[in-house]
Amino acid sequence: MRLFTLTRIVTAEGRGAYGRLIGMAGGIAVGVALLLLLLGAYDGVTSRSERLSWPSLSHGEWSTQVQNPAAAAPTDESVLAATNLEHFDGDEIIRVDIVATPDSTVVVPGVGRPPAAGTYHASPALIALIEANPTDILGSRYGTPVGVIDEAGLAGPDSLVVVTGTTTENLRPSIAGVAGTVFLRGGVWSVTEFRGVSYPSSNYRAITIIGAIAVLLPVLILVGIVTRLGAATRAERFAALRLIGATPRRVAAIAATETGVTSLVGALAGVALAWLLIPVAALVEMEDGQFFRADLTVPPSTVLIVVAGVVAGCTAVAGWRTSRSRIGPLGGSRERTERRPTALGVVPLIAGVVVLLGATTAALRHTPLPRTDQILIAGFLLLVVGLIAAGPVLTYWIARIAARRAHRTAWVIAMNRIQQHPRATFRAVSGLVAAVFLVSVFSAGITTVAEESPTEDADYLSPSILVAWLHPPSPDGASAAASEITAVTAATARVARTDGVTATAIGSSHPEGGAVFTAADAARVGLSNPHGASHIQVSDSSAFGDGSLVTRPATASGPTPGLLLVATDGTTRSVERARTAVLGSELRLLSPPMTRADHESARWQTWADRYANLGHLAVLVATLISAVSLAVSSIAAILDRRRVLGLLRLMGMPVSTVRRVIVAEAALPLATVFALCVGLGILTAWCIVAGLTEGERTINWLPPSYYLILATSLALAATTVVATFRTARTSTTIEATRIG
């Protein structure tokens, strides 16, 4: 008889056969779909980062900083450029100003030839924002629109980017800082080619890889569980084949063929599922926005490799597993006891903890190990593998102790069965164990991104005030300096006449830092003057609210303007109209006008904030898949032991005792490692955050949502176990046992 025909007769006939095959194919489909999405996202993050980081200007040999911008000039092979961060109603806008010759050969990503002076190209999202608001609020900042930036120059569809053409005289130097994940260096740059980098730093790459591992791990566990569906039933049928003369090699070939065909169907379904999920996955925000769909699409060659690899791997494992099981002519009549787990199973777990703590300790001492990010990834992977490997060992040890004190029938049966099959027992809850660990890791890691809302208090600068540091006058002589001071005063007066502006105040530079205001100007913009002095000094940090507003009496202000405060009536339109007026004035700005809320947002949102959604996604996937894994594995365990449980029912055991056995077998391995998973998860999160930042950031107290997620996970686990009671009742009846 042909192999495929024999395989169909042996594996696809009988009660529940098609359900088992559909379950296997479904689990593999989910795994392949998520694997393809993860591969696409990994490549997408790389290309996305390149499109996101090209405005930083300071990458590689194709850009050099101009020491004297006033004397510099563009050529046909190079342009002068400066990138700055602007704000609009809480959103960040990346602005790239370019000075180019009419015949410039430099290509701007997503734009092409640099725009002429007075014109601009903007991203579709920014164009929509400009069109939705009056010109004096936003549009007049940039000039005349002449084009749209396409996908080649944008991180995502919601990116706010503008490329403007200007002249050397009007080119405002970059202000050093961070625009989202774009690290800006100050000054003016001569650029021969605009090019980004794959990752702004190794931290981004490390967080991306750890997140991918966290999302993929529960899926791999699910695939491993579904491929074992109906193992006992298949063993009985294979034993029947051996009884009529089939060789072990022939039996292994049948098992491999069954798994190969099923995995092929599942893999192809997974490809279709991944294609359907791309529009949904593209909505996930990471770094500064969403993905383009093309970012998550993998090439056909990668799809073929994944499908071939999954099918080949599943087929080989099935054949190898069957050949190792040594099924004989009577192999289906008795349940084989597993090999006792040894203490070697806890070695990867201990090694993972040591690696994580070692790398983090070195980083906290400011003597980081080479490639700390890769060491932390390795430690995380070791810890994850170690939890799964150590689970059966710990479960076996606890079951031995519990069996000695067991008195109830259900408890005695459950504990002895766990001792005989610790790996199979733990495998049933391994998805939930991984979920608890990963939820703890990412819930703790996300606490480092907590944002602080601007405080409205007399001790803080009002959130409705715009702050702009001014460029000092050029040291070309007293007359030139006086002329510039006059120009600053005139420009400030024009800003003061803008609708919604209630007051303006110019602070003069203080030799010790900060700015000095007259008592009258301070009163107009709401600065406190508790001592009633004629002049007060505001420190640099206080201007942006890094702590309470620090003012102290000062001597008369100097002649050099250093800080501009623009008070508004607090409405969004007034704040943005005043910001646009300042940006469009003749003022030479050392920093763009910002409110304290803008500054707080830029200060708190770092790489951890940008990747918080990856943590939320990992939590969601781990929780949902763990519930499915527990349900599938619990049902599979019942089906595999229905003959034994059915015989116990024939001897008079009530179905309630069978239910208690099922609960005990699910509860013991989970209870064994639950606290360990929570503790190790929090420790891992702290090691990753502190290790990557050399102690600059740490984790905070876990939010109430974490405990809600844990409770939800346990509730899902309880629900899935209860849902198997019906299967236990119907599969262990007298009729089912006699027929089986």
For residue 225, the model assigns a pLDDT of 72
Q: Name the nearest CA neighbour of 219 among 441, 430, 437, 377.
A: 430
CA distance 601 to 231: 55
Asked if 522 contacts 580 with a C-beta cutoff of 8 angstroms, the reply is: no
CA distance 93 to 623: 36
Asked if 41 contacts 212 with a C-beta cutoff of 8 angstroms, the reply is: yes
Residue 299 has pLDDT above 60, yes or no: yes
Residue 607's φ and ψ, nearest 5 degrees, are -60, -35
Interval 146-198: pLDDT, tens: 999 998 888 888 889 999 999 888 888 877 666 555 666 677 888 888 887 77
Interval 667-707: pLDDT, tens: 888 788 888 888 998 999 899 888 888 877 778 888 787 88
Element holding 441 (H helix, E strand): helix 422-446
Asked if 81 contacts 98 with a C-beta cutoff of 8 angstroms, the reply is: yes
For residue 355, the model assigns a pLDDT of 94
Q: Where are the alpha helices (DSSP H) in 458-595?
A: 478-496, 519-524, 572-583
Max avg pLDDT among 117-131, 214-228, 280-294: 117-131
For residue 578, the model assigns a pLDDT of 92
Interval 585-633: pLDDT, tens: 888 887 788 887 777 665 545 445 555 556 666 667 777 777 777 777 7
Cα angle 336-341-343, degrees, rounded to a multiple of 5 = 170
Lay out the sheet containing 161-165: strands in order across.
Answer: 63-66, 188-191, 79-88, 91-99, 161-165, 119-122, 144-148
User: For the purposes of burial, counting CB atoms within 10 Å of the CB of 581, is it exposed (0-12), middle (13-18) or buried (19 or more)?
Assistant: buried
pLDDT class of 34 with cuts at 50, 70, 90: confident
For residue 100, the model assigns a pLDDT of 92
Residue 362's φ and ψ, nearest 5 degrees, are -65, -40
Phi-psi region of 473 (alpha: psi -120 to 50; beta: other; left: phi over 0): beta
Residue pointed to by tokens 């070692």:
358
CA distance 650 to 161: 74
Asked if 292 contacts 150 with a C-beta cutoff of 8 angstroms, the reply is: no
For residue 246, the model assigns a pLDDT of 67
Residue pointed to by tokens 């164009």:
127
Phi-psi region of 65 (alpha: psi -120 to 50; beta: other; left: phi over 0): beta
More confident residue, 546 or 81: 81
Cα angle 685-39-179, degrees, rounded to a multiple of 5 = 60
| Helix, strand, coil distribution of the chain in percent, nearest 5 | 60, 10, 30
Interval 644-663: pLDDT, tens: 667 777 777 777 787 788 78
Residue 726 has pLDDT above 80, yes or no: no
Element holding 344 (H helix, E strand): none
- Rounded to a whole number of angstroms, the CA Rg of the chain reads 33
Give the pairing type, strands 91-99 and 551-553: unpaired
How many helices (H) and strands (E) in the chain? 22, 15
Sign of the dihedral through C-alpha 620, 621, 622, 626: positive
pLDDT class of 517 with cuts at 50, 70, 90: confident
Average pLDDT estimate for 423-450: 78
CA distance 39 to 167: 44
547-555 own/partner pairs: CB under 8 Å, 24+ apart: 548/457, 548/459, 548/460, 549/459, 549/460, 549/461, 551/522, 551/527, 554/510, 554/516, 555/516
CA distance 415 to 242: 33
SS3 547: coil
DSSP states along 447-467: GGG---PPP-STTS--TTEEE
Burial 44-76 (b: 16+ CB within 10 A, else e): bbbbbbbbbbbbbbbbeeebeebeebeebebee
Report the amino acid identity of residue 264. L
CA distance 33 to 276: 9
Max avg pLDDT among 20-34, 249-263, 339-353, 590-604: 339-353
CA distance 652 to 562: 91
Report the amino acid identity of residue 263. S
Average pLDDT, the chain: 78
Segment among 358-372, 483-497, 626-640 with least mean pLDDT: 626-640
Residue 455 has pLDDT above 80, yes or no: no
Residue 452 has pLDDT above 50, yes or no: no
Asked if 512 contacts 533 with a C-beta cutoff of 8 angstroms, the reply is: no
Q: At what angle do helices 3-11 and 231-243 cross, to 10 degrees?
A: 130
Q: Name the nearest CA neighbour of 460 among 523, 535, 544.
A: 544
CA distance 20 to 15: 10
For residue 428, the model assigns a pLDDT of 75
Q: Which residues contact 720 (CB under 8 A, 6 or more apart)?
A: 627, 630, 631, 634
Tokens of 348: 């990867």
